[in-house]
Structure 1
Amino acid sequence: MAKVITTEELKKKIDEGGEFYLVDVLSPNSFEARHIPGAKNVPNGPEFLKQFEEQIKASKDAEIIIYCGSATCMASVQAADMLEKAGYTNVTHYKDGLAGWQNAGYKFEGEAA
């Protein structure tokens, strides 16, 4: 099971500029409207793992942080599970997602940001 990161921990990690991959698993339309700064979009679905490996090109031990819309959105849980089953060993789930980021008052990137 993936580790969990809080909103404050994620904000600190982004501000410090560490080496990690932040992946938004929502639809491309949602991603274009708004996403957490620095995130890449790999929508959850049947092709998730293939698209992830083509777009992200992360090593199996790279730090990968996955998120979706909110704590009730299961897309990020499913995506994190797929990555772990594929052999990725450093997967973290930002379970509060876009809602948690917004509730903390942090800025987004995207057309609606």
Structure 2
Amino acid sequence: MTSVPFTATRSVVAKTPAAASHAAAAHFEAKLAFETDCADVWYATTQEAKDFVLVDVRSPAMFAAGHVPGAINIPTRQLSEVRLAEYPADTLFVVYCAGPHCNGSTKAALKLARLGRPVKEMIGGLTGWIDEGLGLARG
């Protein structure tokens, strides 16, 4: 490990001290309980037995123009107990929308959580998926 020389003035990064290791571990562990990323979703859907339902919460027209392969389309406004009745109560839902500039997946995740459903948000959304170089499905 390289030592950083002491300076009287700290950088803007170091001015706020890092959290204690135990607190950082708790924070990052909790963060992973709320979200997953595009690479993990790709790996799980192509290399493992998919044990979640991937939900694109954008409009049907946007979904048809291009979506993550294997995703289903349920716009946030259509998320309800009736719509989800076909899935067992312990089904994990992974939601995404257009990308980091869109909070549609956050709204959908909140709605699913309030319905008592396990949920994670796919960070990066469709933009992240494309940035990873992963292909889209159409139709």
Instruction: Report the TM range for the smaller structure's normalisation.
Output: 0.7 to 0.9
Q: Name the TM-score, length of structure 2 as normaliser.
A: 0.70
Equivalent of 1:8 in 35, 39, 57: 39
8 Å CA contact 2:36–2:123 kept in 1: the answer is yes
Give the partner amino acid of 1:108. Answer: L
Question: Which structure has the higher relative contact order (CA within 8 Å, separation 6+)?
Answer: 1
Aligned residues with identical type, % of pairs: 30
- Structure 1: which 5+ residue stretches go unaligned? none
Q: Is 1:35 aligned to residue 67 of structure 2? A: yes
Q: Is 1:110 aligned to residue 138 of structure 2? A: yes
Looking at structure 1, the residues matched to 126 and 82 of structure 2 have their Cα atoms a distance apart, in angstroms, of 22
- Structure 2: which 5+ residue stretches go unaligned? 1-30
Looking at structure 2, the residues matched to 70 and 96 of structure 1 have their Cα atoms a distance apart, in angstroms, of 5
Q: Name the TM-score, length of structure 1 as normaliser.
A: 0.85
Looking at structure 1, the residues matched to 96 and 65 of structure 2 have their Cα atoms a distance apart, in angstroms, of 15
Which residue of structure 2 aligns with residue 65 of structure 1?
94
Looking at structure 2, the residues matched to 52 and 84 of structure 1 have their Cα atoms a distance apart, in angstroms, of 15
Q: Pick the structure with greater CA Rg.
A: 2
Looking at structure 2, the residues matched to 83 and 27 of structure 1 have their Cα atoms a distance apart, in angstroms, of 17
C-alpha deviation, 1:17, in angstroms: 3.4
C-alpha deviation, 1:101, in angstroms: 0.4
Q: Is 1:49 aligned to residue 77 of structure 2? A: no
CA RMSD of aligned residues (A): 1.8
Alignment length, in residue pairs?
107
C-alpha deviation, 1:11, in angstroms: 1.0
